[in-house]
A and B are shown apart, each in its own frame.
Chain A
Amino acid sequence: GAVVSQHPSRVICKSGTSVKIECRSLDFQATTMFWYRQFPKKSLMLMATSNEGSKATYEQGVEKDKFLINHASLTLSTLTVTSAHPEDSSFYICSARPLAGGKDTQYFGPGTRLTVL
């Protein structure tokens, strides 16, 4: 089956630093990738839709200047949390939709747990 990887799987950083999370589709091309955020014991909330070669579409309430998304190729999207603060601590999950997808298939990455001290 299709595989999506995320790197790093876990990161701890100091307040004020920036953290980059990578989402890669390993065996398929994806024009669209999605970034979700999950707080402890909560559901997944869509943050943004990342389209290859164009600007990401952010959900209402998500600061685009804080959560920078870049989708430079058909297999890679990155999420950079800029000037991270403790309230940004969360579980970030990406998903990728295959270029040749049908049935609205999406494949999820394993997630990245961010802890900001």
Chain B
Amino acid sequence: AQSVTQLDSHVSVSEGTPVLLRCNYSSSYSPSLFWYVQHPNKGLQLLLKYTSAATLVKGINGFEAEFKKSETSFHLTKPSAHMSDAAEYFCVVSDQNRNAGNMLTFGGGTRLMVKP
């Protein structure tokens, strides 16, 4: 079985300061890991994904995440927050060895607020 825990339901930062959104996962097999972003009243957009290549993954809009197997973590970071980063972020795990299309398991989401 696989599961995802996003450790903070809300994170608030000031514009120009670093962003850290925390995610821990469990998976029986070699996982693929994703971060999705959802802006208000919008659909889900893929930020980045890890699929057993480099452990440091760079995504869109300056975000990156580091896969740490020993810590079962996949935290999302950005050096400098922008107002447009305010959104809800989902950490997602996909079990590569499952049948039927590698289903996704979503974390509960972290709402990022950016203060001017």
Chain B associates with chain A: no
Instruction: Give the interface of A toward B (CB within 8 A).
Output: none
Instruction: Give the interface of B toward A (CB within 8 A).
Output: none
